[in-house]
Chains A and B, each alone.
Chain A
Amino acid sequence: MNAYAKYFVKKLFWYLVTLVIAVSLNFFLPRMIEGNPVAMIVSQMTKGMTDSDTIKRVYETFIQEFGVDKPLWQQFLIYVQNLFTGNLGTSFGLYPKKVTDILASAVPWTIGLQLPAILVGWILGNVLGAVAAYKKGVFDKVIFPVALFVNSIPFFTLAIIMLYVFALTLGWFPLSGGYDFQMIPQLSFEFIGSVIRHHTLPFLSIVLVTIGGQAIGMREMSIYELNADYVLYSKLLGIRDSRISRYVFRNAMLPQITGLALSIGTMVGGSLICEIVFSYPGIGTWLFTAIRQLDYPLISGCTLLIALSVLLANFTIDIIYGFIDPRIKASQMEDQ
């Protein structure tokens, strides 16, 4: 086996171990929250009913249906068994909807919100950061503090401020949701228009913080690279500035690409706060609802999805990096 294959297998092994741990935690942690989900659901369903026998029967049916009467370890085995067939169970709160169906309906909203926002924010942030490092002077003196400021506001606060100013006070944008509730999702101009109006504020809030973080990182990296010895050495061999700038840009960019891959990978989990603040119908909002209802299968489903995407993103980065960055390649060689 060559060094790279060994590296690959070793990484793969550790990611699998992590996955097993994540699956267990996803299952057990939510079930350790105090409370009885069935009682909550039944009390809602049987509101107005007086016959305690009927209530009791409904309660018992649900207990059986959800399988919460069995010991926890047995529930876990069933859960794992179902996982292999791609079955994440039935939601308690939205009974009898399947968890996978709920997730499938939520994922497009989350991705549709996050992916464009991350890409736009990442590109703008890196361009601004690189320009600030190259041009220095006034440009740097303005961009850098502004980026630092935006980056230091907690995202939650930023989102709420935007919601308050642009939705509540100015009324430019709707307050919550992914589209007007009266509408039926379809491919009409009106519906798409509604989606875009609802999309704007959460989108901008993510773009803003992404720009801030990326610009700061890129500026630091570029300044570091600009001062590297190879810049002076290349100049003194008569290499033109534009070519040297390309060296610098490329080297400063490599860590930023990790950042991009990571935020895309953590996208599903990364949008939690944004979705909750704007009541956007993605994974984050569902997770929030599920926790309030102690909807174990849905909580586990959401967190599993988040864990999977994070692990997958990291794994992909590790593997690709081993190919493209000779600095990592060299350290792999030393490891063996």
Chain B
Amino acid sequence: MTTNILEVSGLKTYYKTRLKEKVFAVDGVDFVLEEGKTLGIAGESGCGKSTLALSLMGFYFPPLHYGSGSIQIHGRDIMKLSKEQLRTQISGREIAYIPQAAMNALNPTLRIIRFIEDIMKEHRPELTKKQVWDMAVERFETLNLSPKVLRSYPNELSGGMKQRTVIAISTILNPKVLIADEPTSALDVTSQKAVIKLMKDLLDKQFIRSLVFITHELPLLYHVTDDIMVMYAGEIVERGTAEQMIFDPLHPYTKKLMGSIIVPEEGMKGHKLAAIPGTPPNLKHVPAGCRFAERCSYAQDQCRENNVAVKEVDGRQYRCHFDTGTLKEWYANEQS
């Protein structure tokens, strides 16, 4: 029997700008992550992926604000906890986070080991400095990271090394869930591989139980995660297994997103891959009806008028007015 390690329902969070306008960056997100599973989240820039990642931590710092919804870790709603409970019981222990700009996530004037000591002072105050050191060395060695790193300052490490160090630090308390926001995006191919390998090691050795991996490089998700979720304009528009999402997408947006990456047009090789024409809607004023309608080649009047509910078919979810038969027929016609 599988248990749900992370259960998010109706989560809404928004930014309040200086001009007091609200940007609804996460606008009603529901999903479940089972223990031992990995989930990828993909979508264009500005769809709210990073905001979702941050929102899942349960901590909100201006300009980001909590609207509504619940986040349950092993059935415990962390939104019902006080800030202090969240800090001492959840952050880093149950759920850990790797920010999108992980390169800058480390305090430049603190040696890595000093930072680890500070983390331990909060969560394992009974440990002596020596014990923390031994533990850190052991963890770094297990993850094929040189323990020399521990004595270094962040600026003495290369970009890829810094990224792996951040990952090792984030997971040092063996959190159940790790949320990694674009952990490979700023790296060269070799370092990317090392980071992916590190993530797999963390799962294999059970230092983490589940992983949420955010990226816009879809092919990468195929090899890394069990499931993929596609986000558009603050909503989840489709979820399925990596296999289904990449080779048999249902939602027109997923289809476009995959199409723009997997089958580049003739003569486009070596160029930046063609983006989907148009831009995602401004999240300050979310359009009524289907949020993708403006850019969808199949859009009809009802798409623009009626809000779309999530449909569930054979364990897959997608957010479109049309049934799978209709969609597949359209896609088939397009190919011929």
Residues in chain A within 8 A of chain B (CB atoms): 228-230, 232-240, 243, 247, 250-251, 254, 325-327, 329-330, 333
Contact = CB atoms under 8 A, between A and B. Distances in A.
B110 A247 contact: yes
Given A238-B123, A326-B156, A329-B153, A243 B108 contact: no
A230 B111 CA distance: 13
Contacts of B99: 229, 232-233
B132 to A, nearest CB: 14
B196 interface: no
A251 B108 contact: yes
Contacts of B87: 235, 238, 240
Interface stretch (B89-97, B244-252, B256-264): B89-97
28 contacts: A228-B107, A229-B99, A229-B105, A232-B61, A233-B99, A233-B106, A234-B115, A234-B118, A235-B61, A235-B87, A236-B91, A236-B96, A237-B96, A238-B88, A238-B91, A238-B92, A238-B93, A238-B122, A240-B122, A243-B118, A250-B109, A251-B108, A325-B109, A326-B108, A327-B108, A327-B153, A327-B155, A329-B156
Contacts of B169: 237
B91 A230 contact: no
A326 B155 contact: yes
Contacts of B59: 235-236
A327 B92 CA distance: 27
B26 to A, nearest CB: 17
A330 B57 CA distance: 33
A2 to B, nearest CB: 15
Contacts of B57: 236
B101 interface: yes
Nearest to B156: A330
B51 to A, nearest CB: 13
Contact of A236 (B88, B97, B115): B97
B210 interface: no
Interface in B13-56: none
Contacts of A233: 97, 99, 102, 105-106, 166
Given A237-B170, A327-B109, A327-B155, A230 B88 contact: no
B306 to A, nearest CB: 39
Size band of the B side of the interface? 35 or more
Nearest to B111: A326
B92 A326 contact: no
Given A234-B107, A326-B155, 15 more contacts: A229-B104, A230-B107, A232-B99, A233-B102, A234-B115, A236-B91, A236-B97, A237-B92, A237-B119, A238-B119, A238-B122, A239-B122, A254-B109, A327-B109, A327-B153
A327 B110 CA distance: 10
B91 A247 contact: no
Nearest to B157: A330
Contacts of A230: 104-108
A252 to B, nearest CB: 11
A98 to B, nearest CB: 48
B140 to A, nearest CB: 17
A46 B56 CA distance: 91
Contacts of B118: 234, 239, 243
Nearest to A253: B109
Contact of A326 (B90, B115, B153): B153
B99 to A, nearest CB: 6
Nearest to A238: B91
A243 B61 CA distance: 17
